[in-house]
Amino acid sequence: MERPRADLRSGYTTGACATAAAKGALLALIYQQVFDEVSIRLPHGQLVKFPLHTCSFSLDEGQSSVIKDAGDDPDATDKAEICARVTWSQAPGIAFQRGPGVGLVTKLGLPVPPGEPAINPVPRRMITEAMQEVLDEFGERGRVSAPSVQELGALTRPRSPVPAGVIVEISVPGGEEMARKTFNPRLGILGGISILGTTGIVTPYSAAAWLASVVQNIDVAAAQGCRHLVLTVGARGERMARQLFDLPDDAFIQIGPFFGDALHHCIQAGIAKVSLVAMIGKLAKFAAGNESVHSTTSAQDFDFLARIAHESGAGDDLPARIRAANTAQEVAEMIAAAGLGSFFARLCKQAWLFARSLAGEAMSMEILLTGVAGEVLGRYP
């Protein structure tokens, strides 16, 4: 996996920001006063202080918001305003509602069932624990009596008793537009962003977050009944692949550099067949035995490509020129100029053999090598 540069600044997830906003809104409701900041505990135990962007209250509700700081990560939700509105509930516990800009889950396969706000399990737990601590500390059971007008503004401690239950509504202004820059529409999360985060911390350029999105896409596809998936590196490869396969939208998965991880998870998800479609730059790295084909974790092996050319019938000159090449695409152009089409089929076979060594025989696999114009250069089997 790639490692973030040490000089990059970390930030906080939407889940951590929503937790801080929810706690601020509940405190404002209970105390009937405005707060400037709150402290929350992240899943690994760290206590973190968040400034509140807004905070307001009435007798029946509290509202608060936090501006998300994603640090130096190019996050689609960086600088988003994460808002919480808290009202009393007759039922005990914490109930969640979806406000504007937060997505609605509509497909199976996600960690939250269809019909629920797209607030993932860890943020739900963080919000619940933070709010329950406030309720437990300041409340006896039963509804708080409304303070008089004279008491408002002078209230410096919570009135007692405080009811056991609250409803928290999370909203994100502009969230629907932000979501268009994410995989949410493809995952069946409609109308806004997801409230995410497993640690509360955003690590800049995190490979773990990227891989998590790949895994989630595979899970959703499996839950929709897709048993044949087409794996591509990115959007360009997917556009090419859609010309080759007549399959539902959910069956096309962009896996980035995580070839090995994606294959492993396809097995776990019960996928019956995988078609891996890639151009030579990434496929050659994978065929040479690299599970991750990211530039920071694997280099192009030109000796390997020269050997494939030799085994495909090339004379001594072509393998020597391949060893001196700068890119795999340059190699592809050399091969095409030499009319050595069997090279591409042999490269696909090497990729297939490595994929089979990772996934075993439980899943059918095929490898397709495409050119810059989307043409199929090689295929195996």
Q: Tell me: the pLDDT tens digits for 101-145?
A: 999 999 999 999 999 999 999 999 999 999 999 988 876 433 444
Q: Tell me: the pLDDT tens digits for 73-110?
A: 778 899 999 999 999 998 888 999 999 999 999 999 99
Residue 39 lies in a domain: yes
Those residues whose C-beta lies under 8 Å from the C-beta of residue 159, and which sit 6 or more positions away, are 30, 32, 144, 145, 147
- Mean pLDDT computed over 303-321: 94
219, 285: one domain: yes
Separation in Å, CA 288 to CA 84, 172, 353, 357: 50, 45, 10, 12
pLDDT at 10 over 90: no
Supply angle C-alpha 97, 99, 105, rounded to 5: 70
pLDDT for the residue numbered 274: 98
Separation in Å, CA 226 to CA 25, 41, 87, 218, 250: 42, 39, 41, 9, 7
Q: Tell me: the pLDDT tens digits for 30-65?
A: 999 999 999 999 999 999 999 999 999 999 999 999
When mean pLDDT is compared across 120-129, 137-146, 329-338, 370-379, the lowest value belongs to: 137-146
134, 273: one domain: no
Pairing status of strand 273-278 against strand 252-254: unpaired
289, 147: one domain: no
Eight-class DSSP state of 173: T
What count of Cα atoms within 13 Å lies in the side-chain half-sphere of residue 261?
Answer: 22
* Gap between the Cα atoms of 201 and 148, Å rounded: 42
Q: Which domain holds residue 253?
A: 208-380
Domains of the chain: total: 2
Entry field: residues in the chain: 381
Amino acid letter at 27? Answer: L
28, 62: one domain: yes
pLDDT for the residue numbered 143: 40
113, 222: one domain: no
The residue among 155, 177, 202 that closes a domain is: 202
96, 192: one domain: yes
Residue 6 lies in a domain: no
pTM: 0.78
Amino acid letter at 248? Answer: P
pLDDT at 321 over 80: yes
106, 194: one domain: yes
* DSSP percent split of the chain into helix, strand, coil, nearest 5: 35, 25, 40
Q: Tell me: the pLDDT tens digits for 255-307?
A: 999 999 999 999 999 999 999 999 999 999 999 999 999 888 899 999 999 99
Pairing status of strand 165-171 against strand 93-98: parallel
230, 354: one domain: yes
Confidence band of 2 (pLDDT split at 50, 70, 90): very low
pLDDT for the residue numbered 162: 59
* Gap between the Cα atoms of 65 and 354, Å rounded: 50
pLDDT for the residue numbered 160: 52
* Gap between the Cα atoms of 206 and 100, Å rounded: 28
Q: Tell me: the pLDDT tens digits for 145-172?
A: 433 333 344 445 555 555 668 999 999 9
Q: How many CB atoms lie within 10 A of CB 355?
A: 22
Those residues whose C-beta lies under 8 Å from the C-beta of residue 316, and which sit 6 or more positions away, are none
